[in-house]
Amino acid sequence: MKATTKAVAVACAFGIAGIANAINPATFNVTVNMSGGLSVAVSGNLPIGAKAPSNVGVYGPVTVTNDSASFVEDYTIAVSNSADWTIGAAQAPDVATMRVMFNSALPLETDFIAADQLIGLAGGVLCGALAAEAFVGNQDGQDVAPSAVNDLYVRFGMPTSDSSTGAVQTFTVTINAVAP
């Protein structure tokens, strides 16, 4: 037998055994992710000014922009209390109320529903998460495309009385971008 024929015979014998143990088809993974991250921006503050006790009004908008380059986002919203007042479920001495709604135009006071209510120091509420669709007008803070803009309006109810003798109160509203 020639040397090349022996080599082919040996290779075939071992090759067939090797092929019998191979997996068909073979696979591999490609791993990649989008650069950047979730990000939201707001247009600025919302100065309401001096109001009478128990006054309720609608103010805004505050422009909320998905400023991530690549990600669709949902928003959560929370509010902190001020130095002297709290945000509660009902107006009372030193207790104000705050409801928020995403809408393209100024909503009526009556357009806000109980699910739009924020409570001071409560955790962030996911937009549209409750059965009653929290914070939803004709915009909803859900599945917000990159660079898309939503307008947020605030229905603010003044306390029935003020023990701070008229000191200016500041409430911090936090909007957080989360993955849908």
Q: Of 1, 104, 99, 102, which Cα lies nearest the Cα of 58?
A: 99
Kindly state whether residue 2 falls inside one of the protein's structural domains: no
Kindly state whether residue 23 falls inside one of the protein's structural domains: no
Query: Cα angle vertex 142, ends 102, 91, to 5°?
Result: 40
Chain mean pLDDT for the chain = 86
Kindly state whether residue 6 falls inside one of the protein's structural domains: no
Kindly state whether residue 170 falls inside one of the protein's structural domains: yes
Task: Write down the residue that tokens 């007042």 correspond to.
Answer: 85
Give per-residue pLDDT as tens, 66-84.
Answer: 998 899 999 999 999 999 9
In order of 20, 51, 118, 130, the CA distances from 114 in angstroms are: 68, 23, 9, 11
State the average pLDDT over residues 29-43.
Answer: 84
Q: Of 161, 139, 168, which Cα lies nearest the Cα of 152?
A: 139
User: Confidence class of residue 24 from pLDDT cuts 50, 70 and 90?
Assistant: confident
Q: Of 129, 157, 68, 140, which Cα lies nearest the Cα of 101?
A: 140
Kindly state whether residue 90 falls inside one of the protein's structural domains: yes
Kindly state whether residue 29 falls inside one of the protein's structural domains: no
Q: What is the pTM of this model?
A: 0.80
Between 75 and 32, the higher pLDDT residue: 75
What is the tally of structural domains in the chain?
A: 1
Give per-residue pLDDT as tens, 109-168.
Answer: 999 998 899 999 887 888 876 656 888 888 888 899 999 999 999 999 999 999 999 999
The predicted pLDDT at position 16 comes to 52
The predicted pLDDT at position 99 comes to 95
The predicted pLDDT at position 132 comes to 63
pLDDT of 10 higher than 50: no
What is the domain range of residue 83? Answer: 40-178
